[in-house]
Structure 1
Amino acid sequence: MTTTLQINGRPVAVTAEDDTPLLWVLRGELRMNGTKFGCGKALCGACTVMLDGEAVRSCATPLAAVQGRAVSTIEGVKGPEIDALRRAWTELDVVQCGYCQSGQLMSACALLRHTPKPSDADIDAAMSGNICRCGTYPRIRAAIHLAAGDDRR
């Protein structure tokens, strides 16, 4: 079945069943490998993308659920929030292995778009579904504060 999706601001035709997880469409059909496979059960956050501006787990989001909606991936997300986050991630040397980072950045970007000046509790709530095996959580929190213009590092 061929479906047209709106990914990173442009229409993209894909051939897949309606129940195919968005993650597999992105990685397998479209070769967009920035969105990572982690657990396949929507528990780790490595596969996070934005759907109409909300952070969602693409491994548990069927293709049918994204038709007619805007999908943003790490390859195409734009705006001042992601730019500030990328600068902060670099300045604070957040990344260790890097595997979880695309999901972390997508969740953080969605947070800053909805809560421009998040508290620690806001950050913890928004990022709680994103697992980092390297344990860079303090640097992730500091980078989000820095990107929000809050220098409480």
Structure 2
Amino acid sequence: MRIAIAADHNGFALKTRLTDWLTAAGHIVDDRGSHSDGTVDYPPLCADVCREVTDGRVDRGIVLGGSGLGETIACNKLRGIRAGLCHDLWSTRISRGNNDSNVLVLAAKVLAPEVAEEIVEVWLSTPFNGGVHARRLAQIAELERVASQG
């Protein structure tokens, strides 16, 4: 799978670990930054990863921050993005199975690295359930369409 990944300074160390782990698992990982633990603003990083997803250059995106809350808000401002902040395996399965999330947001200050790896593994392997959930995603897409018309 082709995956774009980015993190602010709070998520830099975990991003580095996940990038190595994903690459070793055979994924093609595009590290979009940040490339140090120096302070950086996360909205441009989120926008970059999300554009990679919506433009079809990658299959999925992963964004890391301290709490992940701001990153989730920023990612979901972009049309076509369904970013899910996941702290556990249950929310991860819902994020993919019911919401067909295409961007995973992780809270680097909350998750142990081993837990983050497990969440990513479940997120990458969980299929979208379709059915009633597809109808709801269509309704969300309509909300996006109407909002973009101002």
TM-score > 0.5, shorter chain as reference:
no
> Normalising to structure 2: TM-score of the pair?
0.31
Larger Rg: 1
> Normalising to structure 1: TM-score of the pair?
0.30
Q: Which has the higher helix share?
A: 2
